[in-house]
Amino acid sequence: MSGTELAVETLTLTAGARHLVRDVSLTARPGEVIGLVGPNGSGKSSLLRAVYRVLRPDTGQVRVDGADAWSLPVRRLARTMAAVVQEPGTGIDLTVREVVAMGRTPHKRLLDGDTAEDARLIDTALAAVDAADLAGRSFDRLSGGERQRVLIARALAQQPALLVLDEPTNHLDIRHQLEVLGMLRRLPATVLVALHDLNLAAYYCDRLYALHNGEVITSGPPAEVLTPRLLAEVYGVTAEVAVHPRTGAPQVTFLPGEPAGATPAGPDQPRS
Ligand SMILES: Nc1ncnc2c1ncn2[C@@H]1O[C@H](COP(=O)(O)OP(=O)(O)OP(=O)(O)O)[C@@H](O)[C@H]1O
């Protein structure tokens, strides 16, 4: 398994009269890590929801290895794609291990028990996010960062060829942020991930798509996307971008003060 190909084609999503996403096209080749960046409200989560089949496109398509994701049987799609999103507690008292075991469901028949191979995959997934010691704990009583790591483990146990993640590191301490993103890079899967931390996005992603007001404003390798001009235009901030001498990745330093000639920064407003 080395990942699947994702193609989002001229996708438009609306809620009532509002456009959440307009005419967005995006590709991810097998094994690529693709980052979605953009200010609050720019449409990142909405776009991901259309990819993992929660928000139905008004127009456009989501193709996974050429097949229309919205036409595939749910179970079949779940054997290919896993999603990690911000989730509240389960409301039922499940252990961490039981939550991660749910990742195996698409690969089993109703009432099938866990096999030795399932147990091994669950253990491996827990270890990959440094959560082996949480296995017996109640999921609903975990901290935000612990819960986030367990949800990533559940997705890993699903053995997806395509992994879609919405801000998977927002609750994590810095060590776990680096470990999780490093682990995502090494997965034999295609990864589509929304990230707010632009330096982490620059270091860990092969390519970025920058969203602004529900549209892709630019895309390409991080060094081409994360320019002072883009950061001024999209986020309304002043920034310098250098190439880090050791990592070779672009490194953004934010500076106080509004960028020259920029309109005041503010959350994105979707256009109606
Ligand atoms: N169901 C909905 N009905 C109306 N507006 C919505 C709906 N879902 C999202 N929106 C709006 O669409 C815009 C895009 O939201 P979205 O959650 O996709 O942005 P985002 O880029 O993920 O933001 P953030 O960085 O804050 O998570 C926001 O202005 C949001 O308020």
The per-residue pLDDT string of the chain (272 residues; one tens digit each, 9 = 90 and over) reads 488 999 999 999 999 999 999 999 999 999 999 999 999 999 999 999 999 999 999 999 999 999 999 999 998 999 999 999 987 766 788 999 999 999 999 988 777 778 899 999 999 999 999 999 999 999 999 999 999 999 999 999 999 999 999 999 999 999 999 999 999 999 999 999 999 999 999 999 999 999 999 999 999 999 999 999 999 999 999 999 999 999 999 999 999 888 876 554 455 665 55
Q: For residues 171 and 106, what is the distance between their CA atoms, to the nearest angstrom?
A: 28
Q: For residues 33 and 160, what is the distance between their CA atoms, to the nearest angstrom?
A: 14
**Cα(47) to centroid(ligand 1), Å:** 10
Q: Which residues contact 94 (CB under 8 A, 6 or more apart)?
A: 138, 139, 140
**Cα(19) to centroid(ligand 1), Å:** 10
Closest ligand 1 atom to residue 269 Cα is: 29
Q: Which residues pair with 166 in a beta bridge?
A: 194
User: pLDDT value at position 268?
Assistant: 66
Closest ligand 1 atom to residue 45 Cα is: 22
Q: For residues 5 and 213, what is the distance between their CA atoms, to the nearest angstrom?
A: 26
CA distances from 198 to 50, 74, 188, 218, 259 (A): 23, 33, 24, 15, 18
Domains of the chain: 6-255 (3.40.50.300)
**Cα(86) to centroid(ligand 1), Å:** 14
ipTM over 0.95: yes
**Cα(42) to centroid(ligand 1), Å:** 7
Q: Which tokens hold the place of 78?
A: 């779940």
